Amino acid sequence: MENWLKYGKLGVKHPSSPDPRNVAEADPDLAVVFTKCNEEVSNTYINTTNVHTPKKRKRGDYGSYSPEQRAKMAKYTIDNGPAKAAKHFTKILGRPINESTLRSIKNNT
């Protein structure tokens, strides 16, 4: 299809593309439909090939925790382990908390 569109832009039709001139004598209405379809396909292809798609995913927001909250997180992580602490604080704070976050809070406290 890409080759057909490239040839179509240059004015040379690809052999497999529907040519409205071949149908015009037999059915003029069908020739109009072919022409409009060819234009729509061409416009869609041109509009979608120029769209920039981002390569990276947008990261989430950083969490900020008060010193008191960090102390509670560190103590709970020391007592129960990072996996259980992650589940516990995810429920309490209402957003996901990674085990690695809790391990780093524990190590920095």
More confident residue, 57 or 3: 57
Least confident of 35-39, 88-92, 93-97: 35-39
Reported as a single tens digit per residue, the pLDDT across 33-76 is 778 877 887 777 666 555 566 677 777 778 889 999 999 999 99
pTM of structure: 0.47
Q: State the SS3 of the chain.
A: CHHHHHHHHCCCCCCCCCCHHHHHCCCHHHHHHHHHHHHHHHHHHHHHHCCCCCCCCCCCCCCCCCHHHHHHHHHHHHHHCHHHHHHHHHHHHCCCCCHHHHHHHHHHC
Q: Would you state the pLDDT for residue 10?
A: 45
Q: Where are the domains of the chain?
A: 2-49, 67-108
Q: pLDDT band for 21, please (50, 70, 90 cuts).
A: low
